[in-house]
Structure 1
Amino acid sequence: MLLLCLGTEGISLCFGMPLGISVDLTFPSAMMSSYCLLFILLFFCGSELLIEVLTLVVFSRIDRI
């Protein structure tokens, strides 16, 4: 289970530029970390998701200008 979590998180970090893929891979990683009771990793997944969503909002506003 931890190897699957490591693979999902690694792919998410490698595909950091296309934010849609990274957001989609954050949820399985968060679910696996909550299953293994890795609360520190769950905190980092939550903060990663927050930063990704804020980045998507900023980029969508720049396209309108």
Structure 2
Amino acid sequence: MIDVTAVAVGTRLKLGDGVVAEVTENMADGQWLQVRYLESPGRPAEVGAVELCHAQDIVKILS
């Protein structure tokens, strides 16, 4: 699991299922980030959606 306490707003993340998301808010609890979906290969209708993302859902930090 990635430590998300220092992940800044604007950071791009690779999530499961090939989703690429951008951090819009860090909840500063070490577990949750609010993200906006930038790419969602399996569910294209979700691009632009804002969701909560748990640290265990992050595959890697892209930028």
Query: In which range does the TM-score fall when normalised by the shorter chain?
Result: under 0.3
Higher relative contact order (CA 8 A, sep 6+): 2
The structure whose Rg is larger is 1
Q: Which protein has the bigger strand share?
A: 2
- TM-score, normalised on structure 2? 0.23
Q: Which protein has the bigger helix share?
A: 1
- TM-score, normalised on structure 1? 0.22
